[in-house]
Structure 1
């Protein structure tokens, strides 16, 4: 999603004589600073150019900017080593670069003075962040930047939220002289979420939990509509506190409640902190008595009912069974206090009447250490039956259960050949339909440095094969439903894809990769002229983004559209001259353009 911005930045750097700045605009928290630090700055450094970063939020005068630039470029030991006269000067860019080259500057190591003297002004790439938050008059700020770019041939990147700048009368006037190009920054949700999750690497268990549930975090972030990276980071920080206490209750509590709590904590953080919702008490609406939820469809026109109905549509589309609002969480979200006893009371373990499932749950939660030998043997026998009959509830539970018995194999043995037994069990469960596809990627709940041991590697390969088989069955079912939707109501296929993508985010980008082009062509052959025109409009809208964006997001669909193009060519060739032939040819041209964007 950032390719267009990066390409524009490279072009800006490669242009020898530029007398303007490049402006990146986006809402607060939309990832402008992230884009600079993780993409643009590395590009500049790779080209051999020195870079500097100035946060205008902390600058009250042009002299403050000069100090930040100086310290950033020569790596001065401390700001108080800069003599008083530096702040007393005019603060113009001319002074800044004169000062960089003077030996009478602050008391610095000789290597820093040498670096200052050797700095090539015209090669500098300077990022000015938080333009809208600066206390310096905008005409002075942009005049400062203009002198850097026009007189000293520097490259300047300005990061700002233009929505906040529109009210300043002089902004547009001075922007026209200083800024050569303005680009809107959009959040690349998967990349940003992966980066935020990486910041929790020091907490191994929580980091692994987030990696396993990254799709949920991405979906919740997208549906919030905020595009605010800081709120996403804050939500995961809140969840870290909740997860720590949840983990202390036991592994089975984490299995049952972890994902549900993650969804509601993230959603509440976005709703409460974004200030996009005009409600006096957002949390009171969200945590209202669940008893009224069922009536929302009948009465959701005003007040809290209207808000919570919209909340459910955005964060829990199509299925509210996971909507979960324990009262301890309301207290935590309001005042930061987590009542552990109330948390334990409100997160009970489900009562299991099936003795076999009860035994499986016991080992999944690793709560077997206090059992007598007789009780332990009874539960072991039940787990053995569950595995033999393919009665483990989910692929994720298979993974957890295998790891438990693998690491305890020297103390108690479930099967002589543990890998083979679990392989047979999973195969049986797939054939019987007991196992269903899970949108979130299933991984082994372990942290291993280097290569996996042989048995774990073999089981992981089997786990991946089963996951692929379940995914194929799931996608085949969706494809069959899509062929019906395309035949019965072509205008609804956009909504159909959006609904499936809400359940499994990967389908937003690769939906057509799971379809049979020949079957789609056969359905298209029987559509009316008006319906063919609707399909053409749908394709144009879905793939309206820039070529680089389409290529990155939809590369997996390229083969489908290549095959569909061949099918449509045959269809056009067999259709006599008519309006229908003309519409089919237009559709073929649209498909060809889509395929060209994908490469």
Structure 2
């Protein structure tokens, strides 16, 4: 389609006085400017001995007056005009001195700046005049038409003048849909009338993704061009799958990616694993970049490792909708597109301009290490029978002998065996693979009980996990659910931060209870204050810590309880206890009983402070039981 536009433009500009303009339309970022710039380069005259008009390109973006447009035209003409040599220019300007310049053309080295010269140059009269000294076609190209802030009637009249009175060939570039929106918002706009009167032909620019990607790659530093050229098909596939259709953003994406890659240590570039790791980064970078720029600004939250653990149907649907776009891209290559581990890092770069490459150290740490057998199986479709049999045999023995070093390695192998099993390329049954996977998970999770270690195990396992798209990942899905069941059970048994704080109360930490209860509970979308944290605390230990507080701290604890369970507007009366706190009641009652006994062996302010807490606990319990 674009080739037909080129042919038409080449014919159009040769018409002596067409008396109509041509419009190139298309959405923002579809490649309109890229297309016209390439056409301009092909249209420029190359000779130095004769003077021929070059196409004059002006972006109307943000311009507010026709004077600014004229100055923009001047800036295009001036350097071209004065690059052709003094003799030719003097002949031109002597002929057109009364209309073109307002200063002495015979003065040499007069010290005038380019800005002054372009200001004095009357480009409109120069274009209107029939100068025999300047050959060729007068072509005016007005880009970003819909983004111009000049009064519309004035703008259309200004452009129409060049078409009707200057024998200029006019090319208008813009988003016609946006122009129609402006016309509907402002009844004074008459683009429809202008189009009928002045625009003779309209063409829609279609994205030529393959040609454009080639051009973008050639713009980058030579050190990284080969890798990107090798992955051109991958770049195109991911960009098209994203449905973004904005070449400007793709160009920004590739430039940003190139900047990050070129900043990596030289040792990384020399690693035998470099190509595979950096290709995975490229796939993720384009997918996340395009998703984020298309409006999916919550993508980091959707693919956060913690978020994935929640059985939130809305989140799951949004996540699967995004994943489905890329499900068939790079199958078997181990690209890990939209891997939860990397999505957040790319979004952080888009938000803050910093990309943390330290995570790559683990991949490049052993530069001379051989690629593991299962890593070869990522590209199973590239292998011959002998290679496949060797790598598969080594992998399955390693797996069945329960030799996996960590959860990431385990789930990488599981994901590979899951795909190969669905393709009937393995010699063991699904049940056998699943049974061994459960044994390995049990072994690797044996001593993982602390919340920090559990969260680390989750992150490690997810880094080996591959997106679950269909039945090809059945084994992986079963074993991931098994891992999650162990994780969920352990995380539920872990003492939470509030329970630990209560069991270790002192005067200083008592002040922080209000702060801690407003923090988010790990693995849950709730704050501590929205959970029954007394349920998991040891009542006797909490009571003893309260008894050991200063009287001032006891009052702080009293205020803390009052704030937690009071749901009235004035804070003076407890009306009800929310159902989410009912699990607190047994332990809270025991704490009150311990404090009541202790109060009998104290006196004065200390007895008052304890009895105040006891009375509040009894009231809370009474309201809960009603």
Q: Under a length normalisation based on structure 2, what TM-score does the superposition of the two structures give? A: 0.47
The structure number with the bigger radius of gyration is 2
Q: Under a length normalisation based on structure 1, what TM-score does the superposition of the two structures give? A: 0.49
